[in-house]
């Protein structure tokens, strides 16, 4: 999750809920997995403990003047020191899976393939993995959730240097496979490469903060970074498939985030094309080379020309060989928008496919009710369409690796009000209904749902001003308090899956 400021609600909870559809509690397959997700920098803390090296987020969040509301992840949720408590919390929620990320610089403080390994960092993640398994929880591990070792950024620009970055990431991935792969059966290489490339190297609102305003080239850097992430992913997948898959028998893939796009004017052919083109620039940018083992979408080649890197013959071969081993599609999704074709030529730094985005269409209809942040509206119907779009294009079983929302006004609420998060409960219920519809009515293969997030945490550039957790966190004391949504998720997955396994109908449907 990323960006934007909290929206202050001036209406009652009931009136806000009245704007949302009703939940149908539709059924899910008996083997459907559910869990909760976090990211290392957002929850761990322990910024300088036990030999951890700094990441680009450690540097970015301490810049002066502040770019993160004067807040940082030095302590965050103090997950590093409250491991047993948080595993017990997960167990009490009845999750099947916990998706977390490994901090690269906690394992290799300087990050490089010739740099020393920090065994205390290895020990922390071993304790986490073993603790989860002891409680019957499957670990799903993300190797990279935005926290590049700072030293690699200083040495060669991180993913701006494809050759060096690919080699160092493959080495880091190999270390993780060898130390943890006997127990980890679901691996994710990169979380949201789209955000890494554009928010880190175009707008500069996330680490490392590159933009034209900071003297960098936003017309080329995002595409070079994206290229590096794709090839580093492919190298890690090839390594896993060749050297670890036969004995460990796990799965590996990447997580791509995306809004869904509806045409601004449903009767306009140009807006219909714009909606498709926007998805290609958003998802196809990474999905086509990775899952299809080919090139970037033609719409990107046509608009970007020489600014979009070419794959060499060796790189094309790597993509083709690794494509079959991308065994699932990881989808992070929160909201949707309308897409309107621009009538003027694209700017040199355009990354949208020359598309104007809007939350209202040509008739003035909003795409969905507003949540607790300005960029996130409740758009469960479009979520179902995105599931279909991804399945039709890539034909990989889908795991929803992030989905959630903040409640309107949540950060200004009392503890009693905040834990009674009925807006979030309704949001979850509607999006899980959409998954059921996609599976049972559309034939889409969706295998799991990991709610974002296990707990309120450091929300990147927004600091602690936005709360996505199903657990309330007091950032002064560290106290965790379960919210209504945690209970709802536990009960709804038990109900929906039990009904199917028993052959019973839920609300008249099977």
- Rounded distance, CA 463 to CA 460, Å? 6
DSSP-assigned letters across all residues of 141-195: EEEESS--BHHHHHHH-GGGSHHHHHHHHHHHHHHHHHHHTTT--EEEEEE-HHH
| Closest of 158, 190, 161, 156 to residue 173, by C-alpha | 190
Please list, in sequence order, all residues whose beta carbon lies within 8 angstroms of the beta carbon of residue 262, skipping any fewer than 6 positions away.
275, 336, 337, 338, 339, 361, 367, 382
CA dihedral (200, 204, 210, 216) in degrees, to 10, reads 130
268 vs 278: CA distance, rounded Å: 15
Going by DSSP bridges, is the β-strand pair 355-358/336-341 parallel, antiparallel, or unpaired?
antiparallel
Find the farthest-apart pair of alpha carbons in the chain and give their distance in angstroms, rounded: 62
Query: H or E element: which one contains 230?
Result: helix 221-243
Residues forming a β-bridge with 450:
35
Please say if 269 is a catalytic residue: no
What domains can be seen in the chain, in order of their start residue?
32-257 (3.20.20.80), 258-327+336-370 (no CATH)
> Radius of gyration (Cα) for the chain, nearest Å?
22
The CA distance from 116 to 480, in Å, is: 35
Kindly compute the dihedral angle of the four CA atoms of residues 181, 187, 189, 192, in this order, to the nearest 10 degrees.
Answer: -150
Residue 402 annotated as catalytic: yes
Say which of 6, 44, 192, 459 is annotated catalytic.
Answer: 192
Question: Would you tell me how many other CB atoms lie within 10 Å of the CB of residue 301?
Answer: 12
Residue 186 near residue 250 (C-beta atoms within 8 A): yes
What's the CA gap between 43 and 173, in Å, rounded?
A: 22
Residue 15, pLDDT score: 79
**What is the pLDDT, as a whole number, of residue 499?**
73
Strand partners, 256: 331
Q: Tell me what pLDDT residue 504 has.
A: 62
- Tell me how far the alpha carbon of residue 467 is from its chain's centroid: 16
The span from the CA of 391 to the CA of 418, in Å, is 36
Q: What per-residue confidence (pLDDT) applies to 12?
A: 57
What SS3 class is residue 234?
helix
Tens place of pLDDT for every residue, the chain, 510 residues? Answer: 544 433 333 345 777 898 999 999 999 999 999 999 999 999 999 999 999 999 999 999 999 999 999 999 999 999 999 999 999 999 999 999 999 999 999 999 999 999 999 999 999 999 999 999 999 999 999 999 999 999 999 999 999 999 999 999 999 999 999 999 999 999 999 999 999 999 999 999 999 999 999 999 999 999 999 999 999 999 999 999 999 999 999 999 999 999 999 999 999 999 999 999 999 999 999 999 999 999 999 999 999 999 999 999 999 999 999 999 999 999 999 999 999 999 999 999 999 999 999 999 999 999 999 999 999 999 999 999 999 999 999 999 999 999 999 999 999 999 999 999 999 999 999 999 999 999 999 999 999 999 999 999 999 999 999 999 999 999 999 999 999 999 999 999 999 998 777 766 444 343
Contacts of 383 (CB under 8 A, 6+ apart): 260, 333, 336, 403, 431, 434
Catalytic residue among 262, 402, 410, 459: 402
Angle, in degrees to the nearest 10, between helices 119-134 and 162-180: 50
Between CA 304 and CA 450 the distance in angstroms is 35
Distance in angstroms (rounded) separating the CA atoms of residues 429 and 306: 45
Q: Distance (Å, rounded) from C-alpha 201 to C-alpha 223?
A: 9
């Amino acid at each position: 999750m990323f960006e934007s400021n909290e929206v202050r609600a001036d209406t009652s909870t009931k009136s806000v809920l009245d704007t949302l559809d009703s939940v149908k509690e539709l059924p899910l397959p008996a083997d459907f997995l559910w869990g909760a997700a976090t990211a290392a920098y957002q929850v761990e803390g322990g910024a300088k403990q036990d030999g951890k090296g700094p990441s680009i987020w450690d540097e970015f969040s301490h810049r002066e003047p502040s770019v993160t509301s004067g807040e940082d992840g030095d302590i965050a949720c103090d997950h590093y020191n409250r491991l047993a408590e948080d595993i017990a919390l997960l167990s009490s929620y009845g999750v099947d899976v916990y998706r977390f990320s490994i901090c690269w610089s906690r394992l290799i403080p300087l990050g490089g393939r010739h740099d020393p390994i920090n065994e205390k960092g290895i020990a922390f993640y071993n304790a986490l993995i073993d603790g989860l398994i002891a409680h019957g929880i499957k670990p799903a591990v993300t190797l990279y959730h935005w926290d590049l070792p700072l030293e690699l950024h200083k040495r060669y620009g991180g993913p701006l240097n494809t050759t060096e970055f690919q080699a160092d990431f493959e080495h880091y991935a190999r270390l993780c496979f060898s130390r943890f792969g006997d127990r980890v059966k679901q691996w994710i290489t990169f979380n949201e490469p789209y955000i890494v490339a554009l928010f880190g190297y175009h707008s500069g609102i996330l680490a490392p903060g590159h933009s034209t305003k900071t003297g960098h080239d936003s017309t080329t850097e995002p595409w070079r970074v994206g290229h590096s992430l794709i090839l580093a992913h492919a190298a890690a997948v090839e390594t896993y498939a060749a050297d670890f898959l036969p004995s460990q028998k796990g799965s590996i893939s990447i997580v791509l985030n995306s809004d869904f796009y509806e045409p601004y004017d449903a009767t306009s052919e140009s807006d219909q094309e714009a909606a498709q083109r926007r998805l290609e620039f958003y998802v196809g940018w990474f999905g086509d080379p990775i899952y299809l083992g080919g090139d970037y979408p033609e719409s990107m080649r046509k608009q970007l020309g020489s600014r979009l890197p070419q794959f060499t013959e060796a790189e094309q071969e790597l993509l083709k060989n690794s494509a079959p081993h991308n065994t699932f599609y990881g989808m992070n999704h929160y909201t949707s928008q309308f897409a309107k074709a621009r009538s003027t030529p694209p700017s040199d730094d355009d990354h949208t496919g020359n598309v104007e985005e809007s939350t209202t269409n040509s008739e003035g209809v909003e795409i969905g009710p507003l949540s607790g942040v300005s960029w996130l509206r409740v758009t469960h119907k479009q979520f179902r369409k995105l599931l279909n779009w991804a399945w039709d294009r890539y034909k990989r079983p889908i795991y929803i690796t992030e989905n959630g929302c903040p409640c309107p006004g949540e950060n200004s609420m009392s503890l009693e009000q905040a834990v009674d998060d009925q807006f979030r409960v309704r949001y979850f219920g509607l999006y899980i209904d959409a998954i059921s519809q996609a599976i049972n009515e559309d034939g889409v293969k969706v295998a799991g749902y990991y709610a974002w997030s296990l707990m309120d945490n450091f929300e990147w550039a927004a600091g602690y001003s936005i709360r996505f957790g199903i657990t309330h966190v007091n950032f002064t004391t560290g106290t965790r308090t379960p919210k209504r949504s945690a209970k709802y998720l536990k009960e709804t997955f038990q109900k929906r899956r039990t009904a199917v396994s028993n052959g019973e109908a839920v609300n008249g449907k099977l």
